[in-house]
Structure 1
Amino acid sequence: MPVLSGLKVVEFDALGPVPLCAMILADHGAELVRIVRPGTPVVDESVGGTILHRGRPLVTLDLKKAEDREAALDIVAEADAVVEGFRPGVMERLGLGPEACQARNPKLVYGRMTGWGQSGPLAERAGHDINYIALTGALAAIGPAEAPVPPLNVIGDYAGGTMFLAFGILAGLIEAQRTGRGRVVDVAMCDAVPVLLSLVQAFRQTGGWEDARTRNLLDGGAPFYRCYACRDGGFVAVGALEPQFYAALLHGLGLAPAYYPQYPREGWPKIQAAIASRFLTRDRDAWADHFTGIDACVSPVLTIGEATDAPHLKERRVFRQRDGIIEAAPAPRFGDPAALPPPATEVTPEELLARWRS
């Protein structure tokens, strides 16, 4: 059986990290239901629902109506956890905040997902991934020297949001099993992103990091940890941090390590120029083939479309097709291949409760 079989979670429909967290829980066997407002499609393609809404039904409720709020509380009473992503105070004003829900279900773990947190000067302000990583220092460290570059919405929304929410829900459930009492899990991206930056913060306070882009070990400043252009306009990624991999990189490029010592940093511009010149002599895929038998931490930079055909990822079945849609298979793995998720459907509160109470 999937590892989360029997776990029941209520997802109050939201954007960004909340649906991805719900998808991951559903991927591993949890029974989820999305509570959505009237007029919401079963699969909302405008927010990535073709994939992000997989594996769980929805119940349509108008939470401004007393009878629909009561129906929501009836569902919450049968659940193990709730996840929501509204601004502070919204759920309380609806009568569906942690206090009201835990009054009906004392063991309930109530997961709250925001960018700025439930308190603080910015708590009521709007924001997106780019804002949260800007304020916490992550954005300033990413991109070329000329300007920061948004790294999609991976760092704030998904690493700082989804993953901390999933961890908080599961940690709260473990405690609830032990104590019989639920928890309120306050997940804020502005809290979590600094945790993700712990290595950089440590380097910075011991003299190993400058607050300037492309001047450091992991931000493209090091010639052995960056991307290089190839003859056809493609790129390769080089991650030869350790001395043995650095030596293998230079040998693979036909460069003599004795002429290009990895340190001190003053020599990095010379090394970068030499490596860049060599990579420009072949196409990206030719270099990928060349380094296949050389353990030098060199990889082709594939597009999202190309990644689905990468031999290693195909061998591991990292991607799969469902109803003509290519999507990532569930991760992490627990041995047996995960089953295809059921299609998203709409159910009534009565149908859901009959299923959950059976």
Structure 2
Amino acid sequence: MALAGIRVIELAGLAPAPFCGMLLADFGAKVIRVDRTKVSMAVDTQARGKQSVALNLKKPQGVVILKRLCLQSDVIIEPFRKGVMEKLGLGPEDLLKENPRLIYARLTGYGQSGSYAKSAGHDINYLAISGLLSMLGRSQEKPYAPLNLVADFAGGGLMCAFGIVLALLERTRSGKGQVIDASMVEGAAYVGSFMWKSQNIGLWNRARGENMLDGGAPFYETYRTLDGQHMAVGAIEPQFYQQLIQGLGLDPDDLPDQMSVSDWPELKKIFTEVFATKTLAEWSQIFDGTDACVTPVLSLDTVLTHPHNQERGSFLRDDRGELSPRPAPVLSRTPAGPSLSRDPLIGEHTRSVLMEYGFKSADIEQLLSDGIVECNEAKARL
């Protein structure tokens, strides 16, 4: 796999940092998640392929152990607010001084500088500050955050993983590590670069929800079917729009011009009425194999049954039967090899990881006795 041989220390966090770690693990990196002690259940639902070490960082000896792990690793992912790691003596200056090849990835909402650097926040806040939230939502309605995908995962975890891979690539030339300041605000804004760069071509010159790609256009919309499901329509180009009209059984001479914005509400009403006359299966049969850009809106439970997804193996099941997306993109020579085993228990690999990093058995037993580390091997075998 592409990242085989890369050691990553991921400090346990929520959403974006675990996703970043999972991306690296899927493509071959050895990712060790550092959990707190005295925690019964992990909140990381993206722990595929990771190992878990439980450390008590409230004790100096626990900090020493974490430092030792970092000094023998390639990457550290830390999701804390500005200043937390420095208070522990584990900031970039401390670690890079002893391990100049270390990639130190700092994944936060607002970044390492600026007036909000130490402020709490969530995806919706980062999306708001990025400027993107102002553009999301239906006409005459308040801004609407699309789950927590844009800032947490796209602008956060994915962009941080991209930064790590860039830093690893550059290290092959310089031999040096570096610090990655991954701000979810800036990551989200960067993902949305199209919004800024396309303003002068007329795509976003109307109010929110009244533009071509934000729900204003009848040919870029979702429609309810007879059986209460939905079809997605993206027939922008004239030749695709023509096939949409044909599939709907409408006469183009009876309809207003596709790009007559003032007629969009009426055209949307017509499409709504027509789509409601057939089931999702019936519409799928009509539009499959055409270039009308009309597709069924699949649920998380039905994506695996769609022929295209089946043929590509786009989704996989782990050994517990849970469904999740296959890692992307697909590499021809060094594809991802995602683990199909269950996620690790907190502290499940404490003993084996510490031994791998040079700790003696007697030292590990003493650390366990002193409450510096926790090991859940016995629980893992049940």
| Structure 1 match to 2:364 | none
SS in 1 for 2:116: coil
User: After superposition, what is the alpha-carbon deviation per residue over 1:274-308, rounded to whole angstroms, capped at 9, x for unaligned?
Assistant: 21121111122221121113221101112222223
Secondary structure, aligned partner of 2:158 = helix
Distance 1:316 1:208 in 2: 33
Q: Distance in 1 between matches of 2:131 and 2:206?
A: 9
Greater shift in the superposed pair: 161-170 or 287-296: 287-296
Aligned position for 1:346: 349
d(CA) in 1 for partners of 2:179, 2:206: 36
**Deviation of residue 199 (structure 1)?**
1.5
1:159-212 deviations in Å (ceiling 9; x for gaps): 100111011101111112211221100000111111122212123345431363
Alignment of 1:96-245 (within 5 A): 96-145=90-139, 146-210=141-205, 212-245=207-240
> Secondary structure of 2:350's match?
coil
| Structure 1 unpaired stretches of 5+ | none
Q: Where does 1:322-333 land on structure 2 (aligned, <5 Å)? A: 322-324=318-320, 325-333=322-330
Which residue identity does 2:331 align to in structure 1? F
After superposing the two structures, state which structure 1 stretch, 335-344 or 187-196, moved more.
335-344
**Greater Cα offset, 93-102 or 340-349:** 340-349
Name the aligned partner's letter for residue 353 of structure 1.
Answer: Y
How far is 1:263 from its partner? Answer: 1.5
Q: What is the match of residue 260 of structure 2?
A: 264
Question: 2: distance between equivalents of 1:85 and 1:341?
Answer: 26
Q: Distance in 2 between matches of 1:21 and 1:212?
A: 35
Q: Secondary structure at the match of 2:233?
A: strand
- Look up the equivalent residue of 2:326 and give its one-letter code: A
Q: CA deviation at 1:81?
A: 0.9
Corresponding residue for residue 371 of structure 2: none
Contact 1:141 1:211 in 2 (8 A): no
Paired residue type of 1:352? E
State the partner residue of 1:64.
58
TM-score, L = length of structure 1: 0.92
The answer to whether the Cα contact below 8 Å between 2:101 and 2:175 also exists between their aligned partners in 1 is: yes
Q: CA deviation at 1:108?
A: 0.6
Gaps of 5+ in 2: 360-382
1:87 to 55, 78, 81: 81
TM-score normalised according to structure 2 size: 0.86
Partners of 1:242 and 1:151 in 2: how far apart? 26
Deviation at 1:341, TM superposition (A): 4.6
CA distances 1:311-353 after superposition (whole Å, capped 9, x unpaired): 2112222222212222222222223573535552422352231
Give the AA of the match of 1:347: T
Tell me the alpha carbon deviations over residues 124-178 of structure 1, each in whole angstroms, 9 at most, x when there is no partner. Answer: 1111001111222222222222223221111010010011101110111111221
* C-alpha RMSD over aligned residues: 1.9
Provide the rounded CA distance (Å) in 2 between the counterparts of 1:190 and 1:219.
21
Determine which of 241, 244, 261 is the counterpart of 1:249: 244
- How does 1:256-295 map onto structure 2 within 5 Å? 256-258=251-253, 259-295=255-291
Q: 2:12, 2:44 within 8 Å by CA — same for their partners in 1?
A: no
Q: Are 1:316 and 2:312 counterparts?
A: yes
Query: Is the CA contact 1:232–1:282 (under 8 Å) kept in the aligned structure 2?
Result: yes
Percent of aligned pairs with the same amino acid: 40
Separation of aligned partners in 1, 2:259 and 2:202: 16
Matched residues in 2 for 1:292 and 1:206: separation?
31
Shift of 1:257: 2.8
Cα 1:233–1:339, aligned 2, differ >3 Å: closer, same or farther? closer
Ranked by relative contact order (alpha carbons within 8 Å, sequence separation 6 or more), the top structure is 2
Deviates more, 1:296-305 or 1:253-262: 253-262
What letter corresponds to residue 14 of structure 2 in structure 1? L
| Matched-pair contact (CA < 8 Å) for 1:9–1:82 | yes
- Matched length: 349
Structure 1 distance, partners of 2:224, 2:303, is 18
Q: 1:56 to 1:354 in 2, by over 3 A?
A: farther
User: Matched residue of 2:301: which SS?
Assistant: helix
Residue 169 of structure 2: SS of its match in structure 1?
helix
Structure 1: 4+ residue segments shifted above 4 A: none
Counterpart of 1:64, as a letter, is: K
Assess, with a 3 A threshold, how the Cα gap between structure 1 residues 211 and 201 changes in structure 2: closer, same or farther: farther
1:214 Cα offset (Å): 1.5
